[in-house]
Amino acid sequence: MKYVAFCLAVVFSAFACAQRSAPAWEGGPASAEEVYAPVQIPQLPERLDLAGEPVPLDNYDTRESLMREMLSTIYLHSRTMLTLLATQRYFPIIEPILKKYGVPDDFKYLCMAESGLDPNAGSSAGAAGLWQLMPAYARSAGLYIGGGVDERYDIEKSTEAACQYLLDAKEKFGSWTLAAASYNVGVAGTARRLEKQGVDSYYDLYLPTETMRYVFRVLAFKLITPNPAAYGYRINPEDYYRPLPAYTEVVVSGTQIDWAEEARKYGTNYKRLRELNHWIRDYDYRNKTAHRFVLKVPKPGTRQ
């Protein structure tokens, strides 16, 4: 009897194997274990502009360059998601400053491309902050750097400095797109290449690889940010980072500043103080020049 049962089991097994569908990678239907997240080519718009300047999407190299940055941005999942989540915290600060200086709103996407909207971002080249300002330019724009203080990490002041840079570049080149490119490669580097190559458009200009990709990375964020779900990013309204907590501004001076002590003085702590004042880079500051700092402190009773 055991022999008969064994034979029936063998026959049933063979029959089941014969009836099993081919795996998904051989053209069969996908099983639950074989279902993967779709990787697909995003649809590009028929028309696109940067700061009101048309992007020549009828050029094959322009379309391919945009597609490359769209794919790189869309499928860099964690980094792109974190950048998108930060938009509702920092855009309300950045947008009014751009408007105040007459810089097109599209340049908030340049900020996304620069730092991923991380106010503590830094680079191996020495750039820092949301706008990745280099020390020499930041100092020329009036930002205070040194001794444990670095105003490149100040959201408002760094945005104002970036606006001034972009306005100067726009005046020189007559193009917001070239101004954006120069933010990556420099005004002098952009001007030198324009003169040498005898062109006047970013899309006709041969540049270092990073800069040739740079403007398209900005454009990728411009396309993805208003409608993340269209590109596979499912974000509920409550998932976005909240705006910074309500704060008041106080003036701090003195020859020796202890930031932790200042925090306690205003009913908060050093960590919360740093979250509102990213430009504080150490515990103490020897204020040799008696500089007066405007410090943001949480309002009493503010949920931290």
Q: What is the pLDDT along the chain (304 residues), one digit of tens a residue?
A: 555 555 555 444 544 444 455 554 455 555 555 566 678 898 999 999 999 999 999 999 999 999 999 999 999 999 999 999 999 999 999 999 999 999 999 999 999 999 999 999 999 999 999 999 999 999 999 999 998 999 999 999 999 999 999 999 999 999 999 999 999 999 999 999 999 999 999 999 999 999 999 999 999 999 999 999 999 999 999 999 999 999 999 999 988 999 999 999 999 999 999 999 999 999 999 988 888 999 999 998 665 4
CATH number at residue 158: 1.10.530.10
Q: Taking a C-beta distance cutoff of 8 angstroms, is the pair 176, 104 a contact?
A: yes
Range of the domain at 259: 247-298
13 part of a folded domain: no
Task: Write out the two tokens for 36.
Answer: 């993967």
- Are 63 and 186 within one domain? yes
Q: Structurally, how many domains does the chain consist of?
A: 2
- Are 258 and 159 within one domain? no
- Which phi and psi angles does 47 have, rounded to 5°? -135, 145
Q: CB neighbours of 22 closer than 8 A, spacing ≥ 6?
A: 28
